[in-house]
Amino acid sequence: MRLALAGAGAVGASTLELAGEYGHEVVAIADSSSAAVSEEGLDPETVLDRKRETGSVGEADPEALFAADYDALVEATPTTLGDAEPGFSHVKRALEADRHVVLANKGPVAERYADVRDLEAGSDGEVLFEATVGGAIPALSTITDVGPGRVTAVRGVLNGTANFVLSRMAAEGLGYEHVLAEAQDLGVAEADPSFDVEGTDAALKCVILANVLYDREYTLADAEVAGIEGVPGSALELAAEDGRTVRLVGEVADGEVRVGPRLVPENGTLAVTGTRNIVQLDTEHAGRLNISGRGAGGHETASAVLADVGRLARR
Amino acid sequence: MRLALAGAGAVGASTLELAGEYGHEVVAIADSSSAAVSEEGLDPETVLDRKRETGSVGEADPEALFAADYDALVEATPTTLGDAEPGFSHVKRALEADRHVVLANKGPVAERYADVRDLEAGSDGEVLFEATVGGAIPALSTITDVGPGRVTAVRGVLNGTANFVLSRMAAEGLGYEHVLAEAQDLGVAEADPSFDVEGTDAALKCVILANVLYDREYTLADAEVAGIEGVPGSALELAAEDGRTVRLVGEVADGEVRVGPRLVPENGTLAVTGTRNIVQLDTEHAGRLNISGRGAGGHETASAVLADVGRLARR
């Protein structure tokens, strides 16, 4: 497939690097200020070197991305809340041009799902978004295979930063602020960690799951969300005495979306450690499926993006 | 899709029962002595009642199955070794008639993989076989998505009977013979349990994984196989003192297929309990993925069969 990449951060850059190995070519890439286009396929190294040295991917206007001759747009600009822009407009332009869309950006499918599906219905293009939930974990494709109507509940640990902080607090008996600072030093937590530790990121993933499972549209406003900032070290100690620990668990069941710190068995399936994620699906005919893996990272997320591209190519 | 079912055991019967819910219809089903065919779609209850009462699914000759107007053959006759018959001939007839094939029977893809792929290459039909490895666990579709060349190793606990026996031996401190008899009473182990406890079933699944991962053909003869009959209760006790336990682990890595009892951490990922299965994929760009779920059962396996049918329908 011929790919156009919107966004040249970790996911965009990794997709550019790996696409060739998966049998696809990147004919255009844009960041917020520039674009590079080549009908013969871009050379990843040239583009990424230029981005490192000059801060921009090419000499063209970002607008050139949409003029390229591509089969699928990969939308990997940062997730934004509310109107999900500029991601949503990118999706709209690609679908209106009858191109496929593969999302790494959660915004369009978390905040404007009905709009995206309406645009898709009027397009020859399709929208896939495996990378938006659980990184490398094949959560959405498994739901598609099982059939959304036959998935009775989804639970998951879907934010690596929050999980790293809770795992370290429990393992080392350290306080929240201390471990958070450590996570920031290690690059596991952002300078402003609120998106992760307040539960927003996990909630967006659960909202996307709800949109796939149910007939009505969900947005962040429909989720009941609590973060991990209020979890004291003493709570983890008390839990440990009882063979349990605390995880930031997201749950989609009975039409409700909830995210918050929950007690789980210390050696249980949901107690993944470090930055790992897990998705647990309860199904009508196949019992419970657990899928765990790396929930974030450029290569890991690009791998999910390219799995979606492969699915589109096989159809 | 219009389905023809070869085999009316637990998997065939469950597929017949569930197909309608997944939007497909069964136009023919055959057991070893009879067939039922209806161009308008068979009524599951009528067929299954008849089978229960008379031992045969219908009045037609089994041969009638292939004369039906179907899109995909579901091959769910028992797995046989060596020439993989009669499953292989069923696959051949369907592919030669340019129909798709979905396998629950491991034989054709474990013992005659190259022949199956050759037939597929000359057919408009495709062959899928998710149900042959790990029941409800989406192992093969995840490998397809990741790309077989990017999976560096697969490990798994792939036989529920052997796992039930080892879990019970460890949990209750009971001997092998005692627990096996108990498993037979519960219907978890067959009257002749050799296929499961000697590692043959797990090895066939690993051989199928190797066939998908590597370029050359594997059969059971290429696998190094040890079963669990020789595992003494004392080995489990010793392992437990060290925080470990024993599982029948299959491994496909570096071109080799090995199955045997292995020490694994007691609370580790591979130590699934009871009849659960787990598949662990090491990937080049996405780290390690673990998928666990029910590895056997009529509905569970039918669910994997119908996921394959859905994949074919979407193409």
Query: A244: which strand partners?
Result: A265
Structure tokens of A180?
Answer: 């958070």
pLDDT of amino acid B269: 94
Q: What is the CATH number of the domain that holds B288?
A: 3.30.360.10
Q: What average pLDDT does chain B have? A: 96
Domain co-membership, A55 together with A195: no
Domain co-membership, B118 together with B173: no
Q: Is pLDDT at A184 greater than 90 in this prediction?
A: yes
Query: For testing the chain A interface, which of B14, B276, B279, B285 should be mutated: the one with the most A CBs within 10 Å?
Result: B285
pLDDT tens figures, B162-216: 999 999 999 999 999 999 999 999 999 999 999 999 999 999 999 999 999 998 9
- Among chain A residues, the shortest Cα distance to B292 is held by A290
Write down the catalytic residue from A51, A100, A205, A258. A205
Is A272 within 8 Å of chain B by CB?
no
Mean per-residue pLDDT, B46-62: 96
Helix or strand or coil: residue A195?
A: helix
Query: A261: which strand partners?
Result: A248
Q: Range of B117's domain?
A: 2-135+298-314
pLDDT of amino acid A215: 84
Structure tokens of A217?
Answer: 């549209």
Q: Is pLDDT at B315 greater than 90 in this prediction?
A: no
Mean per-residue pLDDT, B263-267: 94
Q: The dihedral of CA A39, A44, A45, A46: what is its sign? A: positive
Nearest partner of B206 among B192, B191, B221, judged by Cα = B221
Domain co-membership, B245 together with B305: no
Q: Is pLDDT at A75 greater than 90 in this prediction?
A: yes
- Per DSSP bridges, beta strands B25-30 and B151-157 are unpaired
Mean per-residue pLDDT, B58-68: 97
pLDDT tens figures, B217-232: 999 999 999 999 989 9
Answer whether residue A140 is part of any domain: no
Is cis: bond before A86, omega within 30 of 0?
yes
pLDDT tens figures, B287-301: 999 999 999 999 999
Query: B20: which strand partners?
Result: none
> Looking at the partner chain, which of B286, B291, B299 has a beta carbon nearest the beta carbon of A303?
B286
Residues of B marked active site are found at 205
Tell whether A122 is in a known binding site.
Answer: no
Domain co-membership, A88 together with A177: no
Answer whether residue A141 is part of any domain: no
Answer whether residue A185 is part of any domain: yes
Q: What is the CATH number of the domain that holds A63?
A: 3.40.50.720
> Looking at the partner chain, which of A294, A310, A315 has a beta carbon nearest the beta carbon of B287?
A294
DSSP-derived secondary structure for A97-109:
TT-EEEE--SHHH
> Residue A230: pLDDT band by 50, 70, 90 thresholds?
confident
Domain co-membership, B302 together with B290: no
Let me know how many helices (H) and strands (E) chain A has, helices first: 13, 12
Tell whether B287 is in a known binding site.
Answer: no
> Residue A315: pLDDT band by 50, 70, 90 thresholds?
confident
Q: Is pLDDT at B53 greater than 90 in this prediction?
A: yes
Nearest partner of B32 among B15, B14, B12, judged by Cα = B12
Answer whether residue A78 is part of any domain: yes
What are the CA-CA distances from residue B39 to residues A28, B14, B65, B69, B187 (Å)? 50, 20, 11, 7, 37
Tell whether B8 is in a known binding site.
Answer: yes
- A110 CA: distance to closest CA in chain B (Å): 24
Q: The dihedral of CA A73, A77, A81, A84: what is its sign? A: negative
- Euclidean distance between CA atoms B33 and B6, whole angstroms: 11
Domain co-membership, A303 together with A290: no
Domain co-membership, A155 together with A185: yes
pLDDT tens figures, B139-153: 999 999 999 999 999
Mean per-residue pLDDT, A202-227: 97
Domain co-membership, B65 together with B147: no
Domain co-membership, A128 together with A152: no
As for how many domains chain B has, the answer is: 2
Is A209 within 8 Å of chain B by CB?
no
Is B24 within 8 Å of chain A by CB?
no
Is A137 within 8 Å of chain B by CB?
yes
pLDDT of amino acid B230: 87
Domain co-membership, A107 together with A204: no
Domain co-membership, B199 together with B114: no
Q: Where are the alpha helices (DSSP H) in chain A?
A: 10-18, 44-54, 64-67, 87-96, 107-111, 113-121, 139-146, 160-172, 176-186, 194-197, 200-213, 233-241, 298-314
Domain co-membership, A60 together with A158: no
